[in-house]
Amino acid sequence: MDQLLASSALWAMHPAFMDAMLKRGTLEAMLPEGLRKLAGLAGQEAKAADPIREGATLILPVAGMLGPRGFGASTLYEVLADRVREAAADPKVGAIVMDMRSPGGLVWGCAECGDAIYEARAAKPIVAVANPFAFSACYWLGTQASAFYATGSGEVGSVGVRSGHTDMSSFEDKIGMKTTLIASSPDKIAGHPYAPLTDEDRAEIQSGVDESNGHFAAAIARGRGMKVSDVAAVHGTGKTFSAARAHANGAIDGVKTLRQVVADIGSSRSRLALMRRQAAAMEMATAI
């Protein structure tokens, strides 16, 4: 992904992972294209792992950076959403388990994928497991499941959205370069990287971040059957939590390994109990 686009896009991603990704992308961009291709750094999207069947349970991997097509993501929102819908409609699948190992990703496409997960709950149980971590956009998706667990050494959270701006004007001054943009309207070049960010453009970027973060909080409230006003106190505003702390706060439903979740949900009695519990949570969310 282009580094200027990456820095200014709306992200729901753990900051440490994101900073490392952007730093790596900057180093890659400095290499000639031939060397990048030779090193396998040409920005191609990684192939997502295939689902695994365990009896009547379908295990869906949710790993690496999340995003829509065209941005080099490891897990594509569109592919995950389609797999969830197909499994929900498949009479041979009794339950869906999402095996999560992701720092999050782009906001674009996340809400739609979350909707697909939430809607699948009406057909059959869908359980998310942070194995061992589910941050930001991945956490967004996990909260839309019928139940959400984390393995004992796992960690979850990093709720929130970020964006940014790259000011290249000082760099251009040092190399004796000057970029002049000509556009049909100032809005067409708002927030461009060849000058310091104006107050108006900063406010516009902040507005986009706040709007997306509002959608994030609303999705958590819907998925977890709670008030939007209570989301920050339970799920945090950017901090991450160990599995034990997240469970104590009520952010997740328990501390279990992927193997334990798959074993538990394999029984029809467990699936029925989960369906009843999620129905009650959905009724609560509707009433709020």
Element (H, E) at 282: helix 268-287
Q: What is the mean pLDDT of residues 238-260?
A: 97
Query: Running DSSP on this structure, what letter comes out for residue 185?
Result: S
Question: What's the pLDDT tens digit per position in 91-107?
Answer: 999 999 999 999 999 99
Q: What is the mean pLDDT of residues 66-88?
A: 96
* Structure-block tokens of residue 164: 């940014």
Q: What is the mean pLDDT of residues 194-214?
A: 91
Q: What is the mean pLDDT of residues 139-155?
A: 98
How far apart CA 269 and CA 56 sit, in angstroms, is: 13
pLDDT, greater one: 249 or 284: 249
In the predicted structure, residue 31 carries a pLDDT above the cut 50: no
In the predicted structure, residue 24 carries a pLDDT above the cut 60: yes
Q: What is the mean pLDDT of residues 124-133?
A: 98
* Predicted structure pTM score: 0.83
In the predicted structure, residue 81 carries a pLDDT above the cut 60: yes
The set of residues, in sequence order, having a beta carbon less than 8 Å from that of 142 and lying 6+ positions away, is 98, 100, 128, 130, 134, 148, 156
Give the pLDDT band (50/70/90) at residue 35. very low
Q: Are 57 and 95 in contact (CB under 8 A)?
A: yes
In the predicted structure, residue 26 carries a pLDDT above the cut 80: no
Q: What is the DSSP string of 52-113?
A: EEETTEEEEEEEEEEE-TTS--SEEHHHHHHHHHHHHH-TT--EEEEEEEEEEEESTTHHHH
Q: What pLDDT sits at residue 278?
A: 58
Q: What pLDDT sits at residue 30?
A: 44
Q: What pLDDT sits at residue 40?
A: 44
Characterize the bridge pairing of strands 52-54 and 57-67. Answer: antiparallel
Q: What is the mean pLDDT of the chain?
A: 86
Listed by start position, the domains of the chain span: 3-162+206-287
One of 2.70.98.10, 3.20.20.10, 3.90.226.10, 2.60.40.420 is the CATH number of 3-162+206-287, namely 3.90.226.10
